[in-house]
Structure 1
Amino acid sequence: MLWMVLLVCASPMIASYFTFYVLKPEKRNNYGTLIDQRAHPIPAMATTTLDGKPAALQQFQGKWVMLMAAPGACEDACRKQLFAMRQLRLMQGKEMERIERVWLILDREPLDTLVIREYDGTHMLRADAQAVADWLPADPGTSAADHIYLIDPLGHLMMRFPKDPEPRKVHKDINKLLKASSVG
């Protein structure tokens, strides 16, 4: 009788160990794809501001960086990503100051003044298209210009969001990261 009582009491723990170690459920807690930072370190790219002054992604260390890469012509998909990055930052409320937005411009085309004004606060840096393509991993059938990336405060590329992401799910991922990384 005693063994039966022990078996009944231990069965939930036995079942949980069996499920975790034998069945190995594939439950993901995040929407974006985690990137192995060792495989994609931030390269020493020669980036410049719009007025030609040297600037580097390392200047944003200490803050989370939402990053996108697109040509200077900035068609509808580009504008949609810029808008999404602005809104995702605003959705973080009082934590939004911990996030910077960066647009890596992949060519020397002049930017539309309206785009510069509309997305004021986004750091616009010109970068070599090939260096960016070699650095930023993309989903099969897409390019780096189709994704929004996230760089952690230590300067590591750590997450990629899918093409045409669902804003609520992206917000949830960013919110979790900000909470987990908050000090005090």
Structure 2
Amino acid sequence: MTHSKSVTPDEPLSLSVHSMPDPHLTALPPSGHGKLLAMFLACSLPVLLAMFVFFVIKPTGQANFGELIHPARPMPDVMLTNAQAQPIALTELKGQWLLVNAGSGACAADCAQHLFIQRQLREMLNKDKDRVDRVWLVADDAPINPEVQPLLADTTVLRASPAVLDAWLGASDDATMQLVVVDPQGHAMLRMPADMTGKQANAAKNMLQKLLMSSAVWDKPGR
């Protein structure tokens, strides 16, 4: 005879509670410091990315060109004279990237070629050219050759002594053979040959574009 197992209707069901939620592990809303840090990182990201690209990755197709001036040479706080013999503070040129060339006022054929390259290099920057100014430092007392006046349009012309060239560009002896890049704070930071082939000019343009890209967040056209 088979006996079926009886079930007591009033027997309570057993439940197992393994653990209660830990209040320390629950998500907390971001604090004020967290929000501030997030905003800082968001604002800094473009600058950090530009620095990483310029100094670490160095993208292919943008060849390095010229010689970095290390440490960069600050702009002297001196008074110079312009082409009209009017006094002007050199520091008034701050606030803009500069392409600086030097030469004799007599400016023979090779000097005229350097001025032409200086002008064309700026034009090659296209939409970024308004972020760069051209400066020609006349390194002697000779009258400026009238034949090069067309090349000096939109160029800041200043007479500078060898002492100023030495202090700022660091190479007065061969400054006429160099094109120097100056950052908006007035630091001479890069030397390039003043006489370039077409291929070298493209490499120089790429180098300038890298510099402009790295400062695009904080540097705008005009002073």
**What range is the shorter-chain TM-score in?**
0.7 to 0.9
What CA distance in whole angstroms lies between the structure 2 residues aligned with 1:146 and 1:169? Answer: 18
Q: 1:27-176 alignment to 2 at 5 Å? A: 30-37=64-71, 40-138=73-171, 143-162=174-193, 164-165=195-196, 166-176=200-210
Contact 1:45 1:127 in 2 (8 A): no
How many residues are aligned here?
154
Q: Distance in 1 between matches of 2:215 and 2:167?
A: 29
Larger displacement relative to structure 2 (97-106 or 124-133): 124-133
The Cα offsets for residues 90-148 of structure 1, whole Å up to 9 and x where unpaired, read as 01111100000000001111112231233211111011123314542349xx7111100
Alpha-carbon offset, residue 162 of structure 1: 2.8
**Offset of 1:180 from its aligned partner?**
1.2
Structure 2: runs of 5+ lacking an equivalent: 1-61, 219-223
Provide the secondary structure at the position in 2 that maps to 1:95.
Answer: helix
Give the superposition deviation at 1:163: 5.1
Give the TM-score, by structure 2 length: 0.63
1:177 aligns with 2:211: yes
Unaligned 5+ segments in structure 1 are 1-27
Q: Percent identity?
A: 35
The equivalent of 2:12 in structure 1 is: none
Inter-partner Cα distance in structure 2 for 1:50 and 1:164:
24
Normalised by the length of structure 1, the TM-score is 0.75
* CA-to-aligned-CA distance 1:14-72 (integer Å, 9 cap, x gap): xxxxxxxxxxxxxx96211111245x322233311111111233212121000011110
Please say which structure displays the higher CA radius of gyration.
Answer: 2
The residue identity in structure 2 corresponding to 1:52 is: A
Moved more, 102-111 or 52-61: 52-61
Task: Check the 8 A contact 1:64/1:150 in 2, yes or no.
Answer: yes
Amino acid at match of 2:184: P
Q: How far is the alpha carbon of 1:77 from its aligned partner?
A: 1.8
Moved more, 130-139 or 87-96: 130-139
Pairwise CA RMSD = 2.2
Letter in 1 for 2:178: H
